[in-house]
Structure 1
């Protein structure tokens, strides 16, 4: 059976663009529900992780409908959390309508919301604390926390892997060693042979933003898809019955 996998990179609370990508790929209807190809399993949706935390203050401000965002202002934090919860509820309902065909990978930002153990931020000094009560934020609602706990560390279809960071097992555990190891942002450039070393035919990963859009390394057998900002998703055709690797893969601009 041939299936089309629509893979969307790190969302980081840019849900409007996520909805646009799903509609462009014929995976979401006007009411926000999975389309017939998704419900039938002909189309498989894979979200590669990091649903939460806008990437910068400008995106936080846009999220809450204001000109500015102050990460130290409890009101701004509450509005940022509330806006994300509303969108997460919509995404939860979407997946619940086709759980066999909508797959969500656990990103390190999603994991940080669950544990509150690590304070994540940006090089500019922005910290993501809207879901951290100890730092002025609010807890993610229990039913959404339980949903997050069902997210996959990886999805494998034959010898094709979908994961948030990279092909190695250590890249799926967001612990002290993970955050101390800078190679998690550089492996795709410095050590692309990791995919073949892991015994994979092809891998699809996020975590590192691709400024120029989705990057596909056909020689090493992987794609880096953190490119929602560039309005791109990856389309992968797999023969789930016979072929260990993809029949085709291509970035799609929407």
Structure 2
């Protein structure tokens, strides 16, 4: 099956309404939450680029939890935030398990931080993401979900096309002290876009850095930055893996 359509969705950050709306618009999910026939057949391939968990702002936490004012230091608030995310993670796990050959999940640094709670992630505004950290008032992610998330991919390659959370650099696929000290993880696509071609890739799809104006598509440098779910866009690629230049078309799709 050399020709396939890939539907890539940027960092979710618990925006489950946005995720399911994108998959619905792309004809990838049925009303019952299952993969559609094209996904089941492998003609459509779904790629989530990472960071399923942790809403981006207090307002997003309030939208998720229904609380009028979310307090990340209140264990009751953290419990509700964890519970709501667990419910949707279960739904996504069921969706992927129905078509594991066609639904690919990339491990983002926020996903990794749930599995490795030695890193407490937060925002410049002072929000901390600790709902899955018992040492900071949160709860453990259920063990079966930990096992599932622990199997997420560091990258997906289709011929010379790469899907990864941060960049083409192998060092950016492991979220350790060096990663969090390396500011290039947020800037590489502006400062060193040649990294894609230097890695021997014809095209790369990445997230991690929020694109305020929507998906950034740089066809000359050969990459797309797709952390843009908040602008209600996903990326659609037609890939012919039998070709040396496998990308037949690529576009940002509003929904």
What TM-score range do you get, normalising by the shorter chain?
A: over 0.9
Distance 1:54 1:214 in 2: 19
Give a deviation string over 1:199-236, Cα, whole Å, max 9, x none.
Answer: 10000000000000000001100000000000000000
The aligned counterpart of 1:167 is: 168
Contact 1:130 1:136 (C-alpha < 8 Å) held by counterparts:
yes
Give a deviation string over 1:47-102, Cα, whole Å, max 9, x none.
Answer: 00000000000000110012210001110000000000000000000000000000
Give a deviation string over 1:129-180, Cα, whole Å, max 9, x none.
Answer: 0000000000000000000011000000000000000001001010000000
Aligned length: 254
Residue 3 (structure 1) shift: 0.3
1:10 has 2:11 as partner: yes
Distance 1:172 1:166 in 2: 8
The aligned counterpart of 1:210 is: 211
The aligned counterpart of 1:116 is: 117
Structure 2 unaligned regions, length at least 5: none
> What TM-score does the superposition give when structure 2 sets the normalisation length?
0.99
Contact 1:215 1:225 (C-alpha < 8 Å) held by counterparts:
yes
Structure 1 runs (4+) greater than 3 angstroms displaced? none
1:69 has 2:70 as partner: yes
Distance 2:74 2:250 in 1: 44
Describe the SS at the equivalent of 2:247. coil
Residue 243 (structure 1) shift: 4.2
Contact 1:158 1:244 (C-alpha < 8 Å) held by counterparts:
no
RMSD of aligned Cα (Å)? 0.7
Distance 1:65 1:232 in 2: 25
Distance 1:242 1:40 in 2: 21
The aligned counterpart of 1:184 is: 185
Structure 1 unaligned regions, length at least 5: none
Describe the SS at the equivalent of 1:247. strand
Distance 1:243 1:21 in 2: 30
What is the 5 A alignment of 1:117-156? 117-156=118-157
Contact 1:216 1:222 (C-alpha < 8 Å) held by counterparts:
yes
Contact 1:160 1:244 (C-alpha < 8 Å) held by counterparts:
no
The aligned counterpart of 1:224 is: 225
The aligned counterpart of 2:44 is: 43
Distance 2:210 2:92 in 1: 22
Describe the SS at the equivalent of 1:11. coil
